[in-house]
Amino acid sequence: MRKQIIFLLIAMMGLVTACSQAGAGASSEWRDEDFVLVQGGSVMNTLSNYYGTGITLDDFYIGKYEVTQREWQEVMGSNPSQFQGDDLPVEMVSWYDVIEYCNERSIKEGLKPFYNIDKSAVDPNNQSENDQVKWVVTIHAEANGYRLPTEAEWEYAAGGGQQSKSYKYSGSSRADEVAWYWRNVGDQYLTGDWNWPIIESNHGQPRPVGGKEPNELGLYDMSGNVREWCWDWYGDEVNRVLESGSFRVVKGGGWIGDIRSSEVSFRGKFEANGFGPDQGFRLARSK
C-alpha cells in the first residue's frame, strides 16, 4: 500500500511538472487569436492606391492590434515609449528597432527569423543624409518568423481585403468611429484647425489598442493612434517596389496628425532611424 501511495505521488508530481512546463511555454508560442489570416487576391477597396493596378496579393497574417508596450517589454526587456502603459501601443521606436524586435520575438517563439541584419556594413541603398545607422537588412523569404507588412499588404488589410466596403478610413468613412487622432485623444473634443499647443494642453496621447471599432477583417487602429512602419522604401510610384530610397513608408496616421493622414490611401514617410511618440507598428507573417 505504501509503495502504491509513493508511486501515485511521483506520478502526480510528474503531471504537475509537465503542466507547469506547458503553461510556461504557452506564452512564447504562436497565438492565432492575436492575428488575422488575410485572404489574398486583387484589391477591392476603390479608394486604395492599388485599386485597378492589377496587383494580386498572397494570403498573409497580420496583427489584430498594434504591438503593445507589454509585448515589447516581454521581448526586448525595456520600454522606450514616451507615454507609458501596458496596453498602449509601443512608440518611440525606429524602423531598425522594429526589425530587431521581429527577429527577437521570432527566436523566442521558435520561429525562423525573417530578417538578416548586418550591423557592420553600410547599406548602399540608403540615400538618407540624416540616417547614420544604415544597417544592411535583407530577408529570408521562406522564413516563418515575424516581419513588417509591405505597403501593399498593409493597405490591402486596412482597406478590408476581400470584404472591403471601400471605406475612407479603416472600417468606416466616419473617422471618429475607428480612429484616434488629434481632435479626440485629449480631455475634450477639439475643433478648428490643427494646433500643436492646443493638442498638448488638451493632454493628447496614444490610447489603449482596440478602443475603437474594427474594420471588415477585425483589425483595430489601422487608422490613427500611432503611425505604422512598413517594409518598403518610399517612392512616388506606389505600385513599384524600390530597391533604394531615403525614407521608409509609414501608414495609418497617428494621434498627433490630422485626419487626412488616417485615410487608408494616405502614404507617409519617415527616415528609418526616426522615432516619435506617435510612431509604432504591427506585425505580419507569411502564410
Q: Give the pLDDT confidence of 148-164 residue by residue, as tens digits.
A: 999 999 999 999 999 99
Mean pLDDT, residues 233-238? 90
Structure confidence at residue 25 as a pLDDT band (50, 70, 90): very low
Q: Give the pLDDT confidence of 61-94 residue by residue, as tens digits.
A: 999 999 999 999 999 999 999 999 999 999 999 9
Contact 78, 90 (CB under 8 A): no
What local confidence, expressed as pLDDT, does residue 238 receive?
A: 81
Distance set, CA 147 to CA 103, 105, 266, 277, 278 (Å): 8, 10, 22, 22, 20
Mean pLDDT, residues 33-45? 96
Q: What phi-psi label fits residue 110: left (phi over 0), alpha (psi between -120 and 50 degrees) or beta?
A: left
- 224 has a pLDDT exceeding 60: yes
- 23 has a pLDDT exceeding 60: no
Structure confidence at residue 31 as a pLDDT band (50, 70, 90): low
Contact 230, 158 (CB under 8 A): no
- 11 has a pLDDT exceeding 50: no
Mean pLDDT lowest for which of 24-38, 106-120, 189-203, 250-264? 24-38
Fold of 30-281: paralog of FGE (formylglycine-generating enzyme) (3.90.1580)
Pick the residue with more confidence: 228 or 24?
Answer: 228
Q: Name residues whose C-beta falls within 8 Å of residue 273's C-beta, 6 or more positions apart in sequence.
A: 94, 95, 96, 128, 130, 131, 132, 133
- 195 has a pLDDT exceeding 80: yes
3-class secondary structure per residue, 190-219: CCCCCCHHHHHHCCCCCCCCCCCCCCCCCC
